[in-house]
Amino acid sequence: MKFLVVLLALAATAGAQTLERVKTAKTLVCGLNEEDGEYSRTDDHGTREAFDRDLCKAVAVAILGPAARTEVKVFSDDVDAIAALKAGTVDLLPTSPLDFTHATEPGIGLSGVVLWDGVGFMVPVTSKAQQMEDLGGKKTCVLAETEVEDTVKAWVQRSGVALNVFPFTEEGEMEAAFVTGTCPVLAGDLTRLASTRAGFGEIAGKFKVLPGVVSKDPLAAAYLASDQRFGRIVDWVVQALIGAEEMGVAQAHPVGVAAEWDLNERRLAGKTHDLGDRLGLPDDWAVRVVEAVGNYGEIYERDLGPKTEMGLLRGWNRLGRDGGLMVALPLK
């Protein structure tokens, strides 16, 4: 029993040292789940490397300032990435699934949502389908024995849209069936569909991801739960990025005229000296982050948006006032 107590105490001490370790090394180490070519039965999300790197940089700048360095370690799946976080190999996972399983994972803390993902559908651009409800009667490719298969089948029952769900045991066979038109609809999380389409190379432009999703599969930044101090910094960096977009504070003009009279923007700019002490950071950490990476909307559009290789509409990742789900907590 005493041995167990000692181990728990050592683990708590190690977790509490994350911030000090980052400051000493002058580098924040982040883990990226790159996902190899195969669909995973434990993580259906797709590659989001640029987005992850920007979130990593945002946290690093908050702690270390404009000259902050980041180091990235790449993992093939979510399981390996979380194991590395627990082992102290990395300090932060910028995007990790936020669901019951991960939220109850011993030793892991999760921020607020950084990205709303979810199961959607991809079709050829020549398809007459403009929305999910137009897919009735279509043969739809899914990978067998995954959450995607179960989710799509449940949506068919709930919505009455009579998809012909066709499971594949091999990812390569499924993609081939989709590209050749044997299976004119491909189902998967939006980030996964976007990654798959990008992987088609020269023919990627022949396919489109339909708007809308049939499930909620959010992602959050993950850190060691034992290190509440570091966790708070991660949490509030996320909130500051979203809040900056709400205020119209952007990379090109990180402090607007409203900073002279709007209390929230004054706080973001570090003019009220409210944001530093409680986190052990300089008062202007939030505005430095926006100067380095932009606000949440700028990051999304640069890394995932319609003009990128991923080509994803913002959907639920729009601000709340625009019909999305991204709403910042108040900086007070």
Per-residue pLDDT at 2: 46
Per-residue pLDDT at 229: 93
Per-residue pLDDT at 243: 95
CA distance 143 to 283: 49
| pLDDT category of residue 3 using cuts at 50, 70 and 90 | very low
Per-residue pLDDT at 45: 72
Per-residue pLDDT at 332: 84
CA distance 256 to 259: 6
Instruction: Answer yes or no: are the C-beta atoms of 22 and 232 closer than 8 Å.
Output: no
Helical (H) or strand (E) element with 70: strand 69-75
Model-level pTM?
0.90
Per-residue pLDDT at 331: 86
| pLDDT category of residue 259 using cuts at 50, 70 and 90 | low
pLDDT in tens, 123-141: 999 999 999 999 999 999 9
| pLDDT category of residue 61 using cuts at 50, 70 and 90 | very high
Residues 279, 282, 288, 293, CA torsion sign: negative
pLDDT higher than 90, residue 270: no
pLDDT in tens, 82-104: 999 999 999 999 999 999 999 99
Instruction: Answer yes or no: are the C-beta atoms of 222 and 82 closer than 8 Å.
Output: yes
Tokens 């996320």 sit at which residue? 238
Between the CA atoms of 197, 199, 205 and 206, what dihedral angle is there, to the nearest 10 degrees?
Answer: -70
